[in-house]
Structure 1
Amino acid sequence: MGTEGENVRVIAGRYRLHERIGRGGMGVVWRATDELLGRQVAVKELTLDPSLSADEARNQRERTLREARAVARLHHPHIVVVHDVVVHDERPYIVMELIDGGSLADRVADRGPVDAREAARIGIGLLGALRRAHDAGVLHRDLKPANVLIESGTDRVVLTDFGIAQVAGATTLTENGSFVGSPEYTAPERMSGVRTGPESDLWSLGALLCAVLSGKSPFRRDSLGGILHAVVVDEIRPPAQAGPILPVVRGLLERDPQRRLDAAEAERLLREFLETGRTPRVPAVHPPTQRDLPRRALSLPLRTGPGTAAARDAAGWPVRRPGRGAVVAAALVAAMAGAGVSAAALLMRHGDGGVAPATTAPPHPSAGSGTPGPSTPGSRPGPTVTVTRTAPSAPPAGRTAPAGYRTVRDPQGFSLAVPADFTRSPQGERIFYLSPDPDQTFRLGIRLADPDPGGPLAVLRRSAAEGPSTNPGYRDGTVTGTSHRGYPAALWEFSRRGFTTAEGPRHTYDLCWQEGGRLYEVWLSAPVGKVAKAKEYFDVAVGTFTPG
């Protein structure tokens, strides 16, 4: 076959390889000469897994050739032209047009991030390429700046490296039962193995736009576990530079693929921005992105899976079913398993990798107390911000606890609905209702106190300020000014690392309000993989809470 050190070698009796011009996870790209037609080309030498048996290697080679030929049928000005697909010494090669220019990743690294107009131009070109590929039943599955070329002299945007593309109805190209792709740019549904469709490429485009605008992917972290957590769990925070095209970026980075902005609408909005210079407005009929839902109204229907509204009983309460938490957990396990890594080990070591000393009491943040609070794993402290939103409204008069819950009248002078199997555990001024499992997976806490002069917002701001010192791996903390049943309120959400290795990462919802001369605080802490069920428990608790 020849070695990398050889100056030239000829494959298929026609293509003379010269210097290597690129290397990726799927192979090596050479500058070459097509001696038959006398033109310069790029030749990609695909790597085969040396551990495969002869039959497995042959099947993989045949799949590679079949799907590469399908990609070769794609003709679009923003898709690299594939001239030929050949086999030499039992190794497949793809012969492509030679683009005189570097990758988009190199451009950003050398010259810095691009402005919003250039990002929109790049986005329009890539959307056209993706629409053409998707119409032909071809998914790219590895869209990232390194796989986009910018032609010198023309600035033409060219999508290349369909090395792990997938053709509808075919087995994944060069895939051997493991996760392939670039995690920072991979859609959450692909990580979970639930589905892969055109929407997954559009998520990758959203991450790419953020990267070229700011210099890095919004999901970049220091470890694979951190990246996976960011993609499927963390709040998505587009960079400030994305402001002029923010509706497009947010629409593409919608975790629910059925609610994700489609290619035609994304292209229309980007063209509108280029023509007017104004931030495009998404039509009112376009559904809000998932990241907007938690802070719009806590009583909004709980989503139990991609594209599905939560089932509810006759009284309107959500039915307890496996929800997004199960999808999140599946995503982390599937993706990490495909990478040959223990999901539990990575998640528990997410962030700085440390483990806090064990604690015997379920922790929770109380106003100004410095007491550890419930939450999830993490790394760096997150910022505290304040906006105004709407909290859950009180349940209609006469509404009873939903199925699977019971109404408790606590000795401390309040009542609320909790899951039927939760048990009461008073701890000083805080009252906990805990799930019955040994790890106390779900921890519902209640605190009653005298009114605070600064109101609920000041209470939770103080707790959030102490978050990094009271919660190991505190991150993504947000304090939101709101109202509850017409009373001033505040909502605090954050994540932390577990206080023990076994506890693992957790997330907390915390609502504080003042009513009838008293301050009330209700919170729910749960593992990040069970946030959907935690959100249900939290909504029911605050929706049925009755003082006195």
Structure 2
Amino acid sequence: MLDEGAVSAGQGHRRTVAGRYQLLSALGTGGMGTVWRAYDQVLHREVAVKEVKAPDDLAASEVERMHARLEREAWAAARICHPNVVTVYDVAKEDERPWIVMELIRGSSMADLLKAEGALSPQRAAHVGVEVLAALRAAHAAGVLHRDVKPANVLMAHDGRVVLTDFGIATLEGTSGLTMAGEMVGSPEFLAPERALGQALGPASDLWSLGILLYAAVEGRSPFRQTTPLVTLRAIVEEDLPPARQAGSLASVIEGLLQKNPEERLAAEQTHRKLCAIRDGRTTGVTAHPATSQVTTPIIGSPVAPRPDRRRRRTAVLGVSAVALLLVGGGLTYRAANGDGQESTAAPEKSEPSRSSGSVEVSVSGERSAYQGSCPPYNENAPTFTATFTVDRTPAVVSYRWVTDKDSLIDDEWQTLPFAAGDATTKSKSLDFSTYYGESFRTLIGVEVRKPQAVRSDSELLVIECDEG
């Protein structure tokens, strides 16, 4: 980890962790813990020690999950043996919690460099890109997705090394996840569209973040950053990439990596060739190939739909796990373009019930529907709504979607709930808000059905009040 501008811990307070690592000074402190410069009294060398301290009011189950995530960070980094990835030496235990011990990188972060010196030249940015890409390719080959590539997690060592660090939210092949269903973690402005939509993740998702990093390197800011996380995520999903006016020959690489559809992104090998050519001052005519050719890690989640034609682009379909994009300030109405390029309100199809088509009853109930605290809500505290559908016969197919008050939509497309012959005539579907972060709001949650008949449930009140800070 980083060693530049360390904050003194005081000569009179030299704590020793696990009887071995003497804490010397704080390298950085955040809301969830501290990274320390420390001295290994066994091997007689300086190291970095990462401490995570849970808030006093955090539930015991969430504290355990936080500690498990810290250990997961160590496991992820330890899987990767590469000079562009921070080396983990040990996971020490002290006060019934883990402390990660890793190499001490003497230098500064890319984020600090951009603040101090401003935007980089395309050639220098390409050099950084080559090194970060090498780290990502090594990680992907080891079955690790980083998921949080950004300038703050790229360290620029005084010896010339570029080091990728902070695997705290990485996913590992062959292990279960530590995020709750639909939980969204990471820095919003660097998230790939498929992550914002809760869709499939793969190496291409890290390549998107690399593209954002390169854009920020030459332009001095990330391309989709907005005033709030909500608006930023919407921009990532819906908006075109602003031109990178300072990118020069790097522009084609940035554009290739920042394709909304991961299958259309520049692949790792082609990215490497182009970046090397720019770094070395050579021209390149390498053709972009889809990033899917480089997938070496199992895809996590549901498949990603092909990107709509830009000439007939419609507002992206946001599923339940991306509900944070929908419900702010009492609900946002999403509109979709029809085949003629005109907008429609996507109103439900109205039809009269008939004996031949069957009938359905739907009701909605809520749990923990009034929430106050930090956002996103932790899973066990997150507001959850359950829709119960009862059909009069089977087989049957129910077409439904979740809605809020004033007819604003949660599901832009209709969902299908099949009842096979012989099935029970009652089934349930749930919606939770464990991924929501943004402004406080209140709205009504209900379900609209269009088949086998048009019917709408009663609505339940939802209130989320996010603590500031």
TM over 0.5: yes
Distance in 2 of aligned mates of 1:62 and 1:189:
25
What's the CA shift for 1:125?
0.2
SS of corresponding position for 2:23: strand
Tell me which moved more, 265-274 or 40-49: 40-49
SS of corresponding position for 1:126: helix
Q: 2:23 aligns with which of 17, 25, 28?
A: 17
What's the CA shift for 1:57?
3.9
Distance in 1 of aligned mates of 2:181 and 2:24:
30
For the Cα contact (< 8 Å) 2:20–2:41, is it kept in 1? yes
Partner of 2:126: 120
The superposition leaves residues 59-83 of structure 1 with CA deviations (integer Å, 9 ceiling, x where unpaired) of 6534542552242131111111111
Distance in 2 of aligned mates of 1:238 and 1:63:
37
SS of corresponding position for 1:87: strand
Distance in 1 of aligned mates of 2:109 and 2:343:
55
What's the CA shift for 1:287?
6.7
Give the gaps of 5 or more residues in structure 1: 289-304, 311-317, 351-373, 377-404, 406-416, 420-431, 440-500, 505-548
Aligned pairs for 1:88-487 (under 5 A) are: 88-152=94-158, 154-173=159-178, 178-278=183-283, 280-283=284-287, 286=289, 306=304, 308=306, 328-330=317-319, 334-335=321-322, 337=324, 343-345=327-329, 348=332, 437=347
Distance in 1 of aligned mates of 2:330 and 2:265:
28
The superposition leaves residues 525-546 of structure 1 with CA deviations (integer Å, 9 ceiling, x where unpaired) of xxxxxxxxxxxxxxxxxxxxxx
Distance in 1 of aligned mates of 2:52 and 2:100:
8
What's the CA shift for 1:22?
1.6
The superposition leaves residues 465-487 of structure 1 with CA deviations (integer Å, 9 ceiling, x where unpaired) of xxxxxxxxxxxxxxxxxxxxxxx
What's the CA shift for 1:109?
0.3
For these two proteins, the number of residue pairs brought into alignment is: 334
Q: Normalization by structure 2: what TM-score?
A: 0.62
Q: What letter matches 1:87 in structure 2?
A: K
Distance 1:307 1:192, change over 3 A: closer
Distance 1:503 1:156, change over 3 A: same
What's the CA shift for 1:170?
2.4
What's the CA shift for 1:282?
4.0
For the Cα contact (< 8 Å) 1:127–1:267, is it kept in 2? yes
For the Cα contact (< 8 Å) 1:247–1:281, is it kept in 2? no
Q: What letter matches 1:213 in structure 2?
A: V
Tell me which moved more, 48-57 or 237-246: 48-57
SS of corresponding position for 2:108: coil
For the Cα contact (< 8 Å) 1:164–1:172, is it kept in 2? no
| Max Rg structure | 1
Distance 1:326 1:282, change over 3 A: same
Distance 1:63 1:273, change over 3 A: closer
The superposition leaves residues 475-523 of structure 1 with CA deviations (integer Å, 9 ceiling, x where unpaired) of xxxxxxxxxxxxxxxxxxxxxxxxxx9789xxxxxxxxxxxxxxxxxxx
SS of corresponding position for 2:241: coil
What's the CA shift for 1:274?
2.8
What's the CA shift for 1:178?
3.1
Q: What letter matches 2:169 in structure 1?
A: I
For the Cα contact (< 8 Å) 2:69–2:168, is it kept in 1? no
Distance 1:227 1:308, change over 3 A: closer
Distance 1:56 1:106, change over 3 A: closer
Calculate the aligned-residue CA RMSD, in Å. 3.9
Distance in 1 of aligned mates of 2:147 and 2:243:
21
Q: What letter matches 2:22 in structure 1?
A: R
Distance 1:66 1:148, change over 3 A: closer
The superposition leaves residues 431-476 of structure 1 with CA deviations (integer Å, 9 ceiling, x where unpaired) of x99668399xxxxxxxxxxxxxxxxxxxxxxxxxxxxxxxxxxxxx
For the Cα contact (< 8 Å) 2:85–2:163, is it kept in 1? yes
